[in-house]
Amino acid sequence: MCKDEFERVMSSGHPEHFLRKPGEKYSRKELIHAWTVYLKKELKIKKAQEEELLLVKLRQKADLFNRLFSSDSDLTDKEVEKLLEEAREEDSTDKQFLSSLLRISFFVIVARMFSNSF
């Protein structure tokens, strides 16, 4: 399974295609390294975006928390139930995002293992 995924990625075109000089030989190790560098960069960007999004969500949750527990709360029971349902849905999408980050991280690890074996 992992090897199949690795081979699928390796056979696809590299997003930051690099040209070789005439007569320069193809190096699988070089391609694995290029993919590893690219995926690390993508992972770093995604992590930064996710951290920023989590901070925004945290501020929203803090505002909501303050509204819920203030002495003059304007939220009805139905609104509170709806907010709880939305929070549950958000939790499931966050789990899906983390799963995709784990897959990318796993590929980087597998690519390192393969590059060390060549």
48 part of a folded domain: yes
pLDDT at position 118 = 52
83 part of a folded domain: yes
pLDDT at position 45 = 94
Average pLDDT of the chain? Answer: 77
Instruction: Give me the sign of the Cα torsion angle 34, 115, 9, 31.
Output: positive
33 part of a folded domain: yes
Among 25, 90, 24, 28, smallest CA distance to 53 is for 90
81 part of a folded domain: yes
Query: Phi and psi dihedrals of 58, rounded to 5?
Result: -65, -45
19 part of a folded domain: no
For residues 11 and 22, give the distance between their C-alpha atoms in angstroms, rounded to a whole number.
Answer: 22
18 part of a folded domain: no
- The ranges of the chain with pLDDT < 50 are none
Domain count, the chain: 1
21 part of a folded domain: no
Domain that holds residue 94: 2-8+26-69+77-117
